[in-house]
């Protein structure tokens, strides 16, 4: 073999070896414990792989990583009109995670964005069915209602909504003053009722009237009425 032939062979083997090395490195994937890989073979869904060491056939298979950890998503402030026609601003936080990587990739384009948009509309829809007093006093019940509806709608995407928490319910200054006046009027009413009840109890203690006396008095009056009628 001549030197020129040897150089050509060496160059060919070098290129072949380098190409093979690149293909091997591109085929190797390592997924963490909280990650899964949705694998497609020639564009069709093949299987979900992971965690750990996996091999992807270059050019034939493609993989999309999916994080299975719980995601904390802030719901932007929403303008809500309550059932008693009070305008409030409400924001919340949603805790959800992917439980089915296949559905999360195939059934929806962007599961995070889709869940965010759905959370905003569900928040407005649920709170719009309640009065302001219920928003302020029954927040735990509203959290459960929103979580239940949101979880049912995202189930088709392989998403599990674990919890929903309403963070703030902001009210206009005029409405805050109206609520303060209402609370003050309620306290005044209760004070008057308590004062009247105390005066009534005091009058009973100062001027006690025996029941027997009242009974005999009523009988006497009834007898007089009968005698007069005869």
> Mind listing the pLDDT tens digit for each residue in 217-230?
566 655 555 444 44
Straight-line distance from the first to the last Cα atom of the chain, in angstroms, rounded to the nearest whole number: 156
pLDDT tens string 202-222: 665 655 555 555 566 566 655
CA angle 173, 175, 179 (to 5 degrees): 115
pLDDT tens string 87-134: 899 999 999 999 999 999 999 999 999 999 999 999 999 999 998 888
Backbone angles phi, psi at 100, to 5 degrees: -135, 95
DSSP 24-69: HHHHEEEE-TTEEEEEEETTEEEEEE-SEEEE--TTTEEEEEEE-S
DSSP 99-159: S-HHHHHHT-S-HHHHHHHHHHHHHHHHHTTS-HHHHHH-HHHHHHHHHHHHHHHHGGGTE
pLDDT score of 230: 45
Question: Per the omega criterion (within 30 degrees of 0), is the bond before 51 cis?
Answer: yes
Unique residue bearing structure tokens 């998403």: 159
Alpha-carbon gap, residue 25 to 169, rounded angstroms? 53
Q: Which pTM value belongs to this model? A: 0.71
pLDDT tens string 136-181: 889 999 999 999 999 999 999 999 999 999 999 888 776 666 666 6
Alpha-carbon gap, residue 191 to 52, rounded angstroms? 70
Q: Which CATH architecture has domain 71-171?
A: 2-Layer Sandwich (3.30)
């Amino acid at each position: 073999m001549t030197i020129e032939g040897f150089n050509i062979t060496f160059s060919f083997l070098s290129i072949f070896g380098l190409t093979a090395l690149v293909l091997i490195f591109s085929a190797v994937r390592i997924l963490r414990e909280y990650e899964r890989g949705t694998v497609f073979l020639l564009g069709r869904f093949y299987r979900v792989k992971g965690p750990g060491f996996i091999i992807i056939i270059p050019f034939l298979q493609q993989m999309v990583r999916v994080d299975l950890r719980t995601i904390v998503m802030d719901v932007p402030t929403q303008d809500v009109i309550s059932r008693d026609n009070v305008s409030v601003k409400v924001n919340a936080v949603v805790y959800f995670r992917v439980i089915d990587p296949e559905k999360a990739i195939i059934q929806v384009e962007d599961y995070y964005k889709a869940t965010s948009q759905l959370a905003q509309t569900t928040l407005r829809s649920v709170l719009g069915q309640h009065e302001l007093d219920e928003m302020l006093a029954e927040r735990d019940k509203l959290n459960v209602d929103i979580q239940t509806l949101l979880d049912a709608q995202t189930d088709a995407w392989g998403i599990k909504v674990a919890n929903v928490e309403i963070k703030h319910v902001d009210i206009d200054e005029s409405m805050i003053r109206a609520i303060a006046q209402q609370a003050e009027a309620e306290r005044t009413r209760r004070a008057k009722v308590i004062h009247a009840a105390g005066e009534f109890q005091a009058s009973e203690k100062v001027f006690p009237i025996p029941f027997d006396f009242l009974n005999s008095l009523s009988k006497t009056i009834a007898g007089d009425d009968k005698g007069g009628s005869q």
